[in-house]
Structure 1
Amino acid sequence: MWRHGYVADYRKENQMLPKSAHTSLIAWSLLLSLAGCSISDGIIRPPKPAQLPAKQNLIAPAEDSAISVPIHVDLSAFLDAANDENLIPKKFDHWGSYLKTHKGTAYKYYAERDDFAMDRSSSQQSISTDQGTTLRDWWKGVDPPGSYVSISTALRYKIGTDPHITQCGDGNEWPRRAILNGNIAIGLTPNYGLSATVSSVAVNTTDPCKLHVADSDISQEVNNRLTNGVRGGLNNAVARINAMNVKSHVEDVWNTLLKPIQLEPDAWLLLNIEKIRHAGFSGVGPVVDDTIQVMAKPVIVFGTEPPSAPAALPQLDTQPASTEFHVVADAPIEYSTLSKALASRLKGARFSYKDDHIRITNASIYGNGGNQLVIRIDFSGDVQGHVYFVGTPEMNVLTQTVHIGGVHYDSATEKLLLKKADWIYGSAFRDFISNEAVLGVGPAIDRLRGLFTAALNRSINPMISTHGTVSSVQGVGVFADVNALYVRAMSDGALNLKVMGTH
């Protein structure tokens, strides 16, 4: 419009000019107009894509993990009871009078034991069919726990029958030797009380007497009397175990793990604990470890301290325990960092189509909401300006890189290219950008690896510390919002808590 107005004003004010001058001015005016159109046709400057509504992060949640917590349990009261001569005699003296088998065979015996000592506790000790039946009866049809504590002591003995027949272990043969063993099945009740029963008692002879009289196995008769007597005493001794409870110690651990654990000024470990399971007893001596496993869904979050969520101690879960521990974290990567890397890779790249070409002068990337990424490419050449591509971030778990999937021109860019530079739209330029839109996220994952290691090896308070290992860390997902690109990484490993002063 400004060009036509200029020509009209000129005609009105210069009626006396020569015809040739008048014609020259009109020609210049038309030339300027055509030049302006040519410049306008060579510039591509579409508006930014409209921001999409916010979208929830749909990356898969954290996996179930187990935090192993050994609670020290002192079974000295049980051991003291087992060594109490009022419960289990030190001497089994039936040498002064004869006993009879069910077939009427007369025999006598004498045995003496030392004090019981605690053997190594076990969580996977096998038991015989008869023992298993007895335990299932005690557990009212439910299979017994797989944890046992064992005691044993040295036993010396002798056996005699009618003096005119035979004897074993007397006189110069004193003593014959054996080991007296007792196994105690032990577990936890739903309310964290200890629950124990005698699973087996056995006399294992190292120097056996083999006495058979009138089809009677005298040695077996003596063994049966010894084991029955010891079993009765142990049944009374395990009452000391059944009176014990570890709830207060478990509750201390539970309440501690409910709170966020600070890893860095802006990084926090949330364990998200849910339930508690029992792993079993282990150790040697009267003080054993009752290992519980706190089931959690750990995540690392960034920003200000998140609020803790108080929750009452749940009852003990009866599901089998696991030892795996995973931590999940969403590492934010600033778009300025990604843009710098993308520009470094693309700047200066030349793209030609027949006689036309463009050269990339800059590249940037940002989040547009709705898990959408926008790539802006600036260029010069036969066409100048910029274009916008949009796509969705996708995690390549094999290469540990982020690829932008479904890259295409946004609608405003598409319309402008079809109108002014269809050779760019119809060429392989989009494919070129799509192939180059690969984002390295190694530094972010390396940072998380350091955080995972720090989270698993630290002091939580003066009484509780964590000790763990990280076997692997890998990116498993990605999500984009307007603030940052979030890469989700997960670690595999194991975590144990050390609790001071529990007993």
Structure 2
Amino acid sequence: MTAALFLTSCSRKIIPGKPVLSSTRFTTDSLPLSEIDVPLRINLKPLYETANKNVQTIYGSPGWPNDFEVVNCDTRYMYRFKRGPLMITAHANTVNFNFTGSYIIAGAQRICTGTGSNRIPITPWTPTCTCGLNEGERRVNIGFKALLTLKDNYDVSAKLQRLEPRPLDKCTVCFWRQDITSTVMDQLKVQLDDTGNEISDSLNRLNLRSPFQQLWDMLNTSIPMFGMGYLQINPEKLRLSTLYAQNDTLNISVGISARPRISLTKTVGYRTVVPDISDFNQRKGFSIFVDAVMDYDSLSQLLTRELYHKRVDMDKTGKYIIIERCEIYGAGNEKLIIKIEFSGPDKGTMYLTGRPYFNRGKNQVEIKDIDYDIHTRDLLIKTAKWLFNRRIINTLNHYSTFNIAAYADTLLSKVNVQLNRQWQKSVSTAGAVNNLQVMAIYPLTENLVLRCNIRGELTVRIDAFDF
């Protein structure tokens, strides 16, 4: 590229050609999958409320309260059974449904002759007698036990067992002249099995895809970090541990395989359908590989701030330059380009190149092997050899370091604030990042990428969702 040299009054304007670095097959390695295992706590009260609404409260014999059921020709009865509120407790993967029910029974007898289906009455019915009408409804404790498992499509599978009814009050009627509590319990069991089927149907209709879709959508959004950039988790796979419940809380260990990204500018969020569960292994904590994207404008501003109006005196020549502005950018190569605009006896632009390097010991990004670009070097040798000077390179070597310790500490602090917050009305998180380590550095064309490994722990709580 032909260089131009302009002379204005007593100073020259030096404008070398822009660097043209040879293209290399330089790209970032594929970002390793991050493994994020998060305890998820789901409030079960909405489930309990749904069960209470969906399970019938009053049961009666087929003809109640007008028609009797006739048994073996000689006995007729009718009854009404009413359940109280469900009292639900949970432990491990078992949910217990208990309630106190009350019942009224009325009946009469007559004498029949014959056998089997050929029995016929020979006397009228006795006057109707009742139990639970005048002396107060008879009470009985009812219980069901449900064993819950979760399928890979988020369906809940419930195996329900009816427990033996436990009567609290005895029931006697005049026409039997005896305690008929056990007889009533036998009749109730048929109705209770229907109740159990309703509870089982209610549980088996439960699908947890909705709360996990909420979580999935949240992880796909660009999350601001209080002026430190934006975090996007980019989940790819999901795994869950077995269910473990304790009273009103369902505990699940949620595992996410993801490729997170931190950028200084907000990225467009997108919505995908949460995938089916890949496995049910239980793990804890997270180890995230994340690309922190630093745009070159920000780096340029930092370097300009350090070098603005910096005077660089040349050895033995009496000449100097004053740095006005610095610009750093990539060129699809392992190197960075540093553009310096300067004033002084001569004015103009020069280009240097260098390799980005992360110094783990000092926890800082450095630009190593700084040297004049070939176009700048050729022009300076021909027109202003005094500018071809190590003093400029030494100055850049001193200032072209970017300590990220403070950035990392601030980032961790901001991320930890973000981890402990309410995301939506019913979704909140709690946790902490305790370590951040830079693993690699990539000077791409559009931005400088720092690949980091972040370790910590996180808990998610969901207090309400649609069933």
TM-score of the aligned structures, taking structure 2 as reference length:
0.54
Structure-2 residue corresponding to 1:251 = 210
Structure-2 residue corresponding to 1:47 = 17
Structure-1 residue corresponding to 2:35 = 64
Letter in 2 for 1:359: Y
Instruction: Tell me how far 1:405 sits from its aligned partner.
Output: 2.7
Q: Does the aligned pair in 1 maintain the 2:37–2:256 contact within 8 Å?
A: yes
1:373 aligns with 2:367: no
Distance 1:377 1:400, change over 3 A: farther
Distance 1:451 1:445, change over 3 A: same
Q: Does the aligned pair in 2 maintain the 1:334–1:484 contact within 8 Å?
A: no
Distance 1:455 1:286, change over 3 A: closer
| Partner secondary structure for residue 248 of structure 1 | coil
| Partner secondary structure for residue 277 of structure 1 | strand
Structure-1 residue corresponding to 2:100 = none
Q: Does the aligned pair in 2 maintain the 1:331–1:444 contact within 8 Å?
A: no
- Match of residue 359, structure 1, among 308, 311, 320: 320
Structure-1 residue corresponding to 2:416 = 453
Q: Does the aligned pair in 2 maintain the 1:300–1:330 contact within 8 Å?
A: yes
Structure-2 residue corresponding to 1:317 = 279
Structure-1 residue corresponding to 2:355 = 392
Q: RMSD across aligned C-alpha pairs, in angstroms? A: 4.9
Q: Does the aligned pair in 1 maintain the 2:231–2:262 contact within 8 Å?
A: yes
**Aligned pairs for 1:84-123 within 5 A:** 121=92
Q: Does the aligned pair in 2 maintain the 1:72–1:288 contact within 8 Å?
A: yes
Structure-2 residue corresponding to 1:278 = 240
Instruction: Tell me how far 1:242 sits from its aligned partner.
Output: 11
Instruction: Tell me how far 1:343 sits from its aligned partner.
Output: 0.7
1:410 aligns with 2:384: no
Distance 1:394 1:437, change over 3 A: same
Q: Does the aligned pair in 1 maintain the 2:307–2:399 contact within 8 Å?
A: no
Letter in 2 for 1:61: L
Distance 1:468 1:447, change over 3 A: same
Q: Does the aligned pair in 1 maintain the 2:370–2:393 contact within 8 Å?
A: yes
1:468 aligns with 2:427: no
Structure-1 residue corresponding to 2:261 = 299
Q: Does the aligned pair in 1 maintain the 2:95–2:148 contact within 8 Å?
A: no
Instruction: Tell me how far 1:65 sits from its aligned partner.
Output: 1.9
Structure-1 residue corresponding to 2:303 = 339
CA distance in 2, matches of 1:420, 1:481: 33
The more displaced of 385-394 and 409-418 is: 385-394
Instruction: Tell me how far 1:302 sits from its aligned partner.
Output: 4.7
The answer to which structure has the higher helix fraction is: 1
Distance 1:434 1:463, change over 3 A: same
Instruction: Tell me how far 1:308 sits from its aligned partner.
Output: 1.0
The answer to which structure has the higher strand fraction is: 2
**Aligned pairs for 1:183-332 within 5 A:** 188-193=150-155, 244=203, 248-258=207-217, 259-263=220-224, 268-282=230-244, 284-285=246-247, 288-303=250-265, 306-319=268-281, 321-324=283-286, 326=288, 328=290, 329-332=292-295
Q: Does the aligned pair in 2 maintain the 1:278–1:321 contact within 8 Å?
A: no
Distance 1:458 1:57, change over 3 A: farther
CA distance in 1, matches of 2:151, 2:445: 51
Q: Does the aligned pair in 2 maintain the 1:67–1:325 contact within 8 Å?
A: no
Cα deviation, 1:307-355, whole Å, max 9, x if unaligned, reads 41322431342455342153734243524422323415x8234341xx4
Distance 1:51 1:304, change over 3 A: farther
| Partner secondary structure for residue 240 of structure 2 | strand
CA distance in 2, matches of 1:436, 1:302: 23
| Partner secondary structure for residue 311 of structure 2 | coil
CA distance in 1, matches of 2:266, 2:347: 45
Cα deviation, 1:254-283, whole Å, max 9, x if unaligned, reads 244224154369965432222222234445
Letter in 1 for 2:38: I
Give the gaps of 5 or more residues in structure 1: 1-35, 77-116, 122-147, 152-183, 198-236
Distance 1:325 1:253, change over 3 A: farther
Q: Does the aligned pair in 2 maintain the 1:193–1:246 contact within 8 Å?
A: yes
Instruction: Tell me how far 1:247 sits from its aligned partner.
Output: 6.4
Structure-2 residue corresponding to 1:163 = none
Distance 1:472 1:315, change over 3 A: closer
Instruction: Tell me how far 1:188 sits from its aligned partner.
Output: 3.7
Instruction: Tell me how far 1:437 sits from its aligned partner.
Output: 2.4
Instruction: Tell me how far 1:419 sits from its aligned partner.
Output: 3.2
Give the gaps of 5 or more residues in structure 2: 1-6, 49-87, 97-145, 160-195
Cα deviation, 1:30-49, whole Å, max 9, x if unaligned, reads xxxxxx9xx89x98542333
Letter in 1 for 2:368: G
CA distance in 2, matches of 1:495, 1:246: 30
CA distance in 1, matches of 2:311, 2:351: 18
Q: Does the aligned pair in 2 maintain the 1:260–1:268 contact within 8 Å?
A: no
Instruction: Tell me how far 1:500 sits from its aligned partner.
Output: 0.7
Q: Does the aligned pair in 2 maintain the 1:325–1:495 contact within 8 Å?
A: no
TM-score of the aligned structures, taking structure 1 as reference length:
0.51
Q: Does the aligned pair in 2 maintain the 1:351–1:358 contact within 8 Å?
A: yes
CA distance in 1, matches of 2:249, 2:223: 33
CA distance in 2, matches of 1:262, 1:388: 37
Cα deviation, 1:408-432, whole Å, max 9, x if unaligned, reads 2111112123335657658676456
| Partner secondary structure for residue 251 of structure 2 | strand
Which of the pair has more CA radius of gyration?
A: 1
CA distance in 2, matches of 1:480, 1:461: 37
Distance 1:487 1:451, change over 3 A: farther
Instruction: Tell me how far 1:284 sits from its aligned partner.
Output: 4.2
Distance 1:360 1:440, change over 3 A: farther
Distance 1:419 1:190, change over 3 A: same
